[in-house]
Amino acid sequence: MKALISSLQFITSLPLGKQQPFHPKKIISCFPLAGLAIGLLLALFDSLASAIWSSQVTAVLDVILLAAITGALHLDGVADTADGLYGTRKREKVLAIMKDSRVGAMGLVTVVCVLLLKAAALGQVEQSRFLILMVVPAYARTAMMAGIRFLPYARDQKGTGSSFFETVLTPMDFKWVLLPVFLSLMLGWRGLLLNFTFLIATAGLLLFYRKKLGGITGDMLGCMVEIIEATLFLAVCVGGHP
């Protein structure tokens, strides 16, 4: 429980009391559970909002809530990653741009596109909505585990998330991933599509990162969360209203 709280304290802005000890490996292993907790809050809020507003308004409020829960930490990663990786700059220049606190045009446009895509997709989800809203954030946080496991840290000096790369993750560290996978199977064929999309999208992002930079940073991990989240919400809308 302490590891879960510590994980939530690291990737959210939720008021969870006294700061727990920082144990990187324990925090990482709890990312799927932290994602489920975020998803549960989102699903409960969505159920209340849906009783008052239309599906379109509720979808926008859901997206706002997700940004508020994370303190826009991952969206900041989207902006920095888009600014840095756009074009054909040298590695050192890319890292310098991502470290810059200013947001460029490409970063701003990418953030807006991700938010619009999420809102549009969420507005189409009807059947199994509560469960979908729970499991998608869990998958998105699981994507960070894949980034940490399969790519080296790209910066020479310490930065956000650098301590997460100091020890190698083992298969046992991924044990909590089985929980959102099990829940997703309750969605029928859409659950299978969700898992397939997650694997393809995550592998695609990792290959892209490796090609562009040869590694990954904290900003790029945050970007993975937002991109995977938007992609999975879009996936469950294939074929019309789920």
pTM for the model stands at 0.94
The predicted model gives 21-40 an average pLDDT of 93
> Lowest mean pLDDT: which of 96-110, 126-140, 179-193, 217-231?
96-110
Q: Residue 145: what pLDDT?
A: 96
The predicted model gives 176-203 an average pLDDT of 96
Q: Is the pLDDT of residue 239 over 80?
A: no
Q: Residue 242: what pLDDT?
A: 44
Answer whether residue 132 is part of any domain: yes
Q: Is the pLDDT of residue 11 over 60?
A: yes
Q: Residue 237: what pLDDT?
A: 87
Answer whether residue 241 is part of any domain: no
The predicted model gives 193-197 an average pLDDT of 97
Q: Is the pLDDT of residue 168 over 90?
A: no
User: Residue 172 sits in which domain range?
Assistant: 2-235
Q: Nearest CA to 61 among 69, 79, 49?
A: 49
SS3 for the chain is CHHHHHHHHHHCCCCCCCCCCCCHHHHHHCHHHHHHHHHHHHHHHHHHHHCCCCHHHHHHHHHHHHHHHCCCHHHHHHHHHHHHHCCCCCHHHHHHHHHCCCCCHHHHHHHHHHHHHHHHHHCCCCCCHHHHHHHHHHHHHHHHHHHHHHCCECCCCCCCCHHHHCCCCCHHHHHHHHHHHHHHHHHCHHHHHHHHHHHHHHHHHHHHHHHHHCCECHHHHHHHHHHHHHHHHHHCCCCCCC
Answer whether residue 164 is part of any domain: yes
Answer whether residue 240 is part of any domain: no
Rounded-to-10 torsion of CA 237, 135, 18, 162: -80
Q: How far is CA 38 from CA 21, 47, 168, 196, 224, in A?
A: 21, 14, 26, 22, 16
Q: Is the pLDDT of residue 89 over 90?
A: no
Write the DSSP symbol of residue 177: G
Answer whether residue 214 is part of any domain: yes
Q: Is the pLDDT of residue 214 over 70?
A: yes
The predicted model gives 86-94 an average pLDDT of 84
Answer whether residue 40 is part of any domain: yes
Answer whether residue 204 is part of any domain: yes
Q: Is the pLDDT of residue 160 over 80?
A: no
Considering its fold, how many domains does the chain have in total?
1
Answer whether residue 242 is part of any domain: no
The residue that leads in pLDDT, 237 or 117, is 117
> Lowest mean pLDDT: which of 23-27, 99-103, 159-163, 177-181?
159-163
